[in-house]
Amino acid sequence: MENRTTVLYVDDNPKSSRLLTSVLEESGFRMISRNDPLEALALCKRTYFDLALLDYEMPKMKGSRLAQQIKLLVPEAPVVLLSGRRSLPAEELLFVDAHFGFGTVLDDLLWTMRILAQPKWVVANHLAAESRTLRGDRPAILGDQHEIRKWADST
């Protein structure tokens, strides 16, 4: 069984899509790329993915609207929005877990994608460690955070 993070990537620009898909695959992600947001939305109904990576400016549907539709279909899937703008209005980010705009560093995008798409067992271990910390068992949470970082760096 493959344990790579599966990313649904939607960008109407085929050239940009090919480039970022290649970079993300080389970084260990399994990519499902679409250039049409309506086609991607239909795909959401029949395909599993761990995270959605969306371009903001698309002619048929803005990435923020696609994010809303994806969250209605797959509420647990994190959504990352890419744009050429430094910032977007708050109402455009209501259904977005992270926004990366002009000046984004690739390492920041990769790190955020890895953290947002953590396997459920990592999150469960982290929550259990937080519970132990509330009881005063400090070293347990430090160990778990180390494991999370180790896992994120390995993917």
Instruction: Report pLDDT digits (tens) over 128-154.
Output: 555 555 555 444 344 445 555 555 555
In contact, 57 and 16? CB cutoff 8 Å: no
Q: What is the DSSP string of 24-70?
A: HHHTT-EEEEES-HHHHHHHHTT---SEEEEES--SSS-HHHHHHHH
- Based on the fold, state whether residues 65 and 129 are members of the same structural domain: no
Instruction: Judge if 65 and 133 occupy the same domain.
Output: no
Tally of structural domains, the chain:
2
- pLDDT, tens digit, for every residue of 77-108? 999 999 999 999 999 999 999 999 999 999 99
Q: Which amino acid is at 58?
A: M
In DSSP terms, 10 is beta-bridged to 34, 54
Strands 6-10 and 51-55: parallel
In a domain, 106, yes or no: yes
Which residues form the domain of 126? 120-154
How far does CA 70 lie from the centroid of its chain? 12
129 and 109 in one domain?
Answer: no
> Looking at the predicted structure, is the pLDDT value of residue 71 above 90?
yes
- 139 with 67, same domain? no
